[in-house]
Amino acid sequence: MENLASEHGEAVRRITRHLRSRPGPLLEVLHAIQAELGYVPPAAVPLVAEELNLSRAEVHGVVSFYHYFRSTPPGTHTVSVCRAESCQAVGGEALAAHARQRLGVDFHQTTPDGRYSLEPVYCLGNCACSPAVMIDGQLHGRVTPERFDALLSGADTDRKR
Amino acid sequence: MTFTVYVPRDAGALSLGAGEVAQAIAREAKLRGLELQVIRTGSRGAYWLEPLVEVAGRHGRMAYGPVGIADVPGLFDAQFLSGGTHPLSLGLTDAIPWLASQQRLTFARVGVVDPASVADYVVHGGYQGLRRALAMSPESIVEAIIGSGLRGRGGAAFPTGIKWKTVLEQPAGQKYVTCNADEGDSGTFSDRMLMEGDPLSLIEGMTIAGVAVGAAQGYIYLRAEYPHALQALNEAIAAAYQARYLGSDVMGSGKRFDLEVRLGAGAYICGEETSMLESLEGKRGEVRVRPPLPAIKGLFGRPTIVNNVITLASVPTILHRGADYYAGYGMAKSRGTLPIQLAGNIKRGGLVERAFGLTLRELLYDYGGGSASGRPLRAVQVGGPLGAYIPASQFDTLVDYEALAAIGALLGHGGIVAFDDTVDMARMARYAMEFCAIESCGKCTPCRIGSTRGIEVIDRIIGGVETEGNVRRLEELCELMVQGSLCGLGGMAPFPVQSALRHFRGDFIARVRH
């Protein structure tokens, strides 16, 4: 296992100590770690386990159970494409194929330049405006392949601004 | 004079540009030296008209939509702030037939009020239900819920009052009220709309539940895919604490009720109530074996109410207007109203709240306007990824719990996903198994292994390999999953597969070229 950078280790301990007195704190701790570091580094697992008096297996079990928690750093932009039925009914699969082709990676992967992580999502609750895509927490509806490309360039521009 | 404009901050409206439109309106007003107040509301649910902009007028709100940023200068030129006519004019919002024909009890305030304002909520009838509840005995609150006929809107349709009664009857001590806001079904968004547009009605409903069963702590288990709802809920909870509708002395009653939001982490299974409780405890979201029921041993082993967002948000109306008022809507054993969500390939998608008793056809054509693509509708999936596919020949079925059950379908959380005649039902069946495989918690074998075997068998059918035998194998596998799974995920994931086989067999058998 890679070592945790010391500033990451400090963040993990600070977050865990801050939240550990709350009832059933593990998910909250993991959310807070991912919010701060962008992911839950595997090397953070033993620290969290120690602080919460849980086994490493228990913490790892929870991290790996939930799709939302990632064990690798995300790209600059996270692009989530809905794959569920409502979006499939209006071209969602073609959009998913376009997204893969445009970014040159498959789902759950990050582009080699580190700019985009492509994630599947099973419903964004925007089903009256399918197909739906979320980019960096911003929801978009009725997304065509053309609009997808425009949104990607928009995300990059926002970043530069 | 100051003009008042309403622009939604609902995630769906934002996904179509409502945020940019609100900014453009404020900018244009400034440019023209006009005094303008922009109030950000929820959505009316007519997503085919979003971004829908409304202007306060003498006779009510005037609606314009769908508004793009390029339309904004023209709207000002047309004096829309004084209700002027424009090609995007829709007249009085309340007179738009799609909205006017609805019976909005639970969604009465959604799209109307500022979701973060307790004052606005109270002006529109909020907290009348809690006021009444605080003057009643716990038993009579529970009686009112039983009398209203309210059934769980999350999908299981269990009588809400009976669940509350069980929790009330447990010895006093630590009890919990939990709200299942893990709205994971594709085609559903009513929980999201409610939480973003009128979160205080959910907060009030949970507070009433707490008063009824003697619980002082509430949790809203919200899915991580809903960041806008998270923000709206947190703002509303803070406002409710500030105004003393939450906390140690609810409305001066001396009763305590605390409430917080806990985030899920992208696991569909956590919409199953026992799995949700595991997740709230910070564990893997694996289902529990029942009994014991959560009402007896729930969160942290204590008696716990688990209700869906819409169920809890319907409670204030029942307490305010009375059980008979609510039960006066609906039919047979499906009382009250249901917020139905029209999704997928549909021209006028959105939220339709009506008393139980409409047919699918009325919803799909009178409200939905048919397919968005203009092609004939071939099938609908009702009730999310575990719901059956219903063919066009059964569109005259009534939308109520028993009528749908009678044709082997289910109502679930009230989402309807429409498909036109280009849909390949074998592919949709494959997806049902794939989804189950992705989301299975792994605790029981029929679900964990069966779903993956299901994908493989359907792949062989799609590939034209020994079709008859593989279809038979698929049918047997579905039966095994239904009978042998621990919870509704594995137990119901076969429903879309079985219904596709029943109604669209040709899509499986005659695959010599799709």
CA of B264: which chain A residue's CA is closest?
Answer: A27
What's the rounded Cα separation, in Å, for the pair B37 and B39? 6
* Complex ipTM tops 0.90: yes
Kindly tell me if the per-residue pLDDT of A158 is higher than 70.
Answer: no
* Helices (H), ranges, B170-308: 190-197, 199-213, 227-242, 273-280
| B402-415 b/e (C-beta count within 10 Å ≥ 16 → b) | ebbeeeebbbbbbb
Check CB contact of A16 with chain B, cutoff 8 Å.
no
Are the C-beta atoms of residues B323 and B335 closer than 8 Å to each other? no
The pTM for the full model equals 0.97
**The listed CATH number (3.90.1580.10, 1.10.10.10, 1.20.1440.230, 1.10.260.40) that belongs to domain B425-509:** 1.20.1440.230
> Would you state the CATH architecture of domain A77-160?
3-Layer(aba) Sandwich (3.40)
- Every domain of chain A with CATH number 3.40.30.10 lies at 77-160
The C-alpha of A158 sits at a distance from chain B's nearest C-alpha, in angstroms, of 14
Q: Which fold has domain B330-420?
A: Ubiquitin-like (UB roll) (3.10.20)
The amino acid present at B265, given as its one-letter code, is A
Q: Is A147 in the B-facing interface, judged by CB distances under 8 Å?
A: no
Under an 8 A CB cutoff, do B186 and A126 touch?
A: no
CATH homologous superfamily of B118-327: NADH-ubiquinone oxidoreductase 51kDa subunit (3.40.50.11540)
User: B189 CA to chain A: closest CA distance, Å?
Assistant: 5
pLDDT above 80: residue A159: no
What is the pLDDT, as a whole number, of residue A161?
A: 40
pLDDT of res. A160:
45
Question: Where along chain B do its domains lie?
Answer: 2-100, 118-327, 330-420, 425-509
Determine the Cα–Cα distance for residues B309 and B229; give it in Å rounded to an integer: 12
Per-residue tokens: B270: 């956590």
The CATH number of the domain covering residues in B2-100: 3.40.30.10
Q: In what order do the strands lie in the sheet with A133-135?
A: A109-110, A116-121, A77-82, A133-135, A138-140
Among the partner residues A23, A122, A130, nearest to B343 by beta-carbon distance: A130
Local confidence pLDDT in tens for the 514 residues of chain B: 899 999 999 999 999 999 999 999 999 999 999 999 999 999 999 999 999 999 999 999 999 999 999 999 999 999 999 999 999 999 999 999 999 999 999 999 999 999 999 999 999 999 999 999 999 999 999 999 999 999 999 999 999 999 999 999 999 999 999 999 999 999 999 999 999 999 999 999 999 999 999 999 999 999 999 999 999 999 999 999 999 999 999 999 999 999 999 999 999 999 999 999 999 999 999 999 989 999 999 999 999 999 999 999 999 999 999 999 999 999 999 999 999 999 999 999 999 999 999 999 999 999 999 999 999 999 999 999 999 999 999 999 999 999 999 999 999 999 999 999 999 999 999 999 999 999 999 999 999 999 999 999 999 999 999 999 999 999 999 999 999 999 999 999 999 999 999 999 999 997 754 4
